[in-house]
Amino acid sequence: MDVVVALFVSIIIILALIKFEISLAVLTGAIFLALSTNPESIEIALTDIFTWKLVAIVILAHSIGYAMEITGMLDKITESVFSISGKFSVAIIPMLIGLLPMPGGALVSAVMIKDLVQKLKIGAEKAVFINYWFRHVWVTFWPLYPNIVIAMGILSANYLQIASSTFPILISMIAAGAVFMRIKSNAVKSKANFENLKYMYPVLLIVIFAVLTGDLLAALLISFFSIVLANKAFSKVGHMLGKAFDWKIIVLVIGVMIYKSAIQVSGASQSFYSEVLSFSNPYVASFALTFLIGFATGIELSYTSVALPLLTSFTGVGEIIRSHVLLVFLGGIMGVILSPMHLCLVLTAQYFKADLYRVYRYLIPASLISMLISLSFLTVL
């Protein structure tokens, strides 16, 4: 089967099955694409140590959230942030957690804002949107995200070059999210309490050790056990880890990694680019390619690791064309944000027990607003 046809059929399969169970839908679509193009991609994904490291990172990231919840740290942080910023805390907290590039990290912030969501009487779908959207405003700008590091290597550019190209996306996402931040609340903001912000130390430890060691898994381990030691919660470690263990999440991660492997091994992205370029201009083709790859995988790394190497003649290398880099990143992040295979989106929707399709009533218009604002910067970069 033609790889482009197989890619589109796999997406259709996933979208058709997603209403039953997202993890099995992704796994089914991934296996179909692999078997239709290159069956070896399944073995490549399952034997890749990064796949299992990703599983460990997801479980550990969730464990940190649960650990902070069980020990009462989350309550103290949310109370403090709420006393300082009031109803805007539901967006500020996800933004703070968004500084930590961890798969499924939106679930951590979802746990942190759950009480605020109930207190402010925010609907489940809107809560999912606010948490998910503001959790990802940093993705194309913050240097700790692996997709930024990979882009620097592929384009032979430094961080400032990349950041000066993608900052409009950060601005546009914050602005677009603010449009849907209208929250009616009669809650009275108490006197600002900064003291409890000290309980953010697990977050700071992750940032510090992730930068120093370059190993997110090690940073998460240090952060997790710092919570255990500080709260003398050794007897609760099993409960914390057990609560974070979910077979659906593991299947979802494995399915996404098989899908990513199948796309890379089969050359589906290259074939798609050639097809699109034959009837479109480079701007449309480049945006479409990164959007599709981002949408197909739901992983930020996908559009930089799979699509960007194919677009270096468009973006430039060394002396990059900032407006072109912006267009490539914009297509990629919008594809990822809108992807029903994005771990953060699915996990947050499950956590708030929201209807995933209704969440798109917020995601789609917010994405369109963000794209329009970002595109307005093309003429000034």
- For 65-123, what is each residue's pLDDT tens digit? 778 878 888 778 777 877 887 778 889 989 887 876 665 678 778 887 888 888 888 89
Query: For residues 114 and 69, what is the distance between their CA atoms, to the nearest angstrom?
Result: 11
Q: Which pLDDT value is given to residue 325?
A: 95
pLDDT > 80? residue 18? no
Q: Which pLDDT value is given to residue 365?
A: 97
pLDDT > 70? residue 328? yes
Read off the pLDDT of residues 303-324 as tens digits, 9 standing for 90 and up: 887 778 778 778 888 889 999 9
Query: For residues 102 and 351, what is the distance between their CA atoms, to the nearest angstrom?
Result: 17
Number of domains in the chain: 1
Is 215 a member of any domain? yes
pLDDT > 80? residue 61? no
Q: What is the CA radius of gyration of the chain?
A: 20
Query: For residues 355 and 340, what is the distance between their CA atoms, to the nearest angstrom?
Result: 12
Is 381 a member of any domain? no
More confident site: 371 or 7 = 371
Q: Which of 125, 116, 139 is nearest to 185 (CA)?
A: 116
Query: For residues 110 and 348, what is the distance between their CA atoms, to the nearest angstrom?
Result: 7
Q: Which of 51, 61, 57, 35 is nearest to 255 (CA)?
A: 51
DSSP per-residue string spanning 312-344:
HHHH-SSS--HHHHHHHHHHHHHHHHH-TT-HH
Give phi and psi for 317, each to the nearest 5: -130, 135
Q: Which of 284, 289, 288, 244 is nearest to 270 (CA)?
A: 289
Is 228 a member of any domain? yes
Read off the pLDDT of residues 289-302 as tens digits, 9 standing for 90 and up: 899 888 987 878 77
Domain carrying residue 149: 3-376
Which residue type, as a one-letter code, is found at position 338?
Answer: L
Query: For residues 50 and 257, what is the distance between their CA atoms, to the nearest angstrom?
Result: 9
Pick left, alpha or beta for residue 316 (phi over 0 → left; psi -120 to 50 → alpha; otherwise beta). Answer: left
pTM, full prediction: 0.68
